[in-house]
Structure 1
């Protein structure tokens, strides 16, 4: 079975697949552009970055995203890698919600704050590989307490040998459902948007929930959506 990113116009699912994939592509493109912008801003600093300088670079974009009429993300920000501000020190500039609640601000005053993030997939993978990543769906106990997919992208600074940190955004399952469920239902009564492990992000099947391990039905078509998601035209939740 071939896997197509953009189906041919004659494909009966073409417009709906394009709509779903287009949403995911747009989120990934926004994060990539933001990573480049923050990297350029850090490169332009004439002295070692400070928390205040990082906030000034990062917060305006978060304000714009959180202030949208129907925001895609529930929260967004930047997490510095060790060494950017000082040895063995991290820094988190992350806000969530329309009121721009600062997330985990106290961690910025603790020398052990780095340990809160280095083990997280959304931080560890981009820093280790230099590649963008999507984590989830998972319950985000650090920030939203909701089912989310966290999109992260490494930030590079000219002259640094290591990744400076990551920018990212938490997109809730509800946000995905608002933007994809209608198209999934048109594709089929058991269509699903899944991650690379087959976990449901959104599904048209009754009884299928975010995070369920899905099984693609025999003969179902598969389409790419972004770097790591797939659309299955027919699937069912695997029994626990």
Structure 2
């Protein structure tokens, strides 16, 4: 993924757009590639779980091994993706209470599985259902961007997680998700934000700053005030208190910059 402002998502620019709209479109295009990997994982997982259900049995961890070739391929293909997989809803699998079929790129560039300790008696991270990357898709039925946060479960890296719900037979079965290290996201989008005439930053639906070219709004901080979820729901630029709020295409991030609509 190039970090050049002219190269990242240039084909997604709307005709006659303002500078802010062009930047929002390019940011959206950069992250749509990650969401495409999430969507492919989601589709493969739903199809797999449908096949298991048709056999009249509950899925087990061994069934999820069929996802691995696709997960490995997406890790190799998508430069922004550092980890990817399926996170099962508790109680879905017959042999374990909770599970992450998760693969990530190691420090040597190789692909390795995540083997977390999900024993509630030993691990503070055994219950992942309250984390935004799981809870938002479960509650809204939509894609979500969570973070940035220090990912103690997977990598100990400052990361964002992009996720989408997996459903089959009318039931929520878990989430398909991909991790993006913040340093990789910043390399891709900060050059774009810095082309704007004033301070600019990106926030998720809950106002968490995902990347920032504004010294007063560091990544990971919480931007209060506007209803960013409503801006994403409406899907068009909105003026608020001297700022312009621009949805980044279909990606659930809002570009906040100076100016009014």
Shorter-chain TM-score category? 0.7 to 0.9
**Distance in 2 between the 1:168 and 1:62 partners?**
11
Q: Is the 8 A contact 2:41 2:86 kept in 1?
A: no
Q: 1:227 to 1:20 in 2, by over 3 A?
A: closer
Q: Is the 8 A contact 1:65 1:72 kept in 2?
A: no
Structure 1 residue aligned with 2:9: none
Structure 2 residue aligned with 1:173: 182
**Aligned equivalent of 2:133, options 122, 126, 134:** 122
**Distance in 1 between the 2:17 and 2:142 partners?**
34
Structure 2 residue aligned with 1:238: none
**Distance in 2 between the 1:130 and 1:17 partners?**
24
**Aligned equivalent of 2:59, options 41, 45, 49:** 49
- CA positional deviation for 1:78: 0.9
Q: Secondary structure at the match of 2:44?
A: helix
- CA positional deviation for 1:36: 2.0
Q: Is the 8 A contact 1:96 1:102 kept in 2?
A: yes
Q: Is the 8 A contact 1:188 1:204 kept in 2?
A: no
**Distance in 1 between the 2:208 and 2:143 partners?**
19
Structure 2 residue aligned with 1:152: 163
Q: Is the 8 A contact 1:6 1:223 kept in 2?
A: no
Alignment of 1:10-89 (within 5 A): 10-45=17-52, 46=55, 47-57=57-67, 59-68=68-77, 71-86=79-94, 89=97
Q: Is the 8 A contact 2:83 2:102 kept in 1?
A: yes
Q: Is the 8 A contact 1:221 1:232 kept in 2?
A: yes
TM-score (norm 2): 0.73
**Distance in 1 between the 2:58 and 2:196 partners?**
52
**Distance in 2 between the 1:183 and 1:56 partners?**
39
Structure 2 residues not aligned, in runs of 5+: 1-11, 226-239
**1:102 is the counterpart of 2:113:** yes
**1:132 is the counterpart of 2:143:** yes
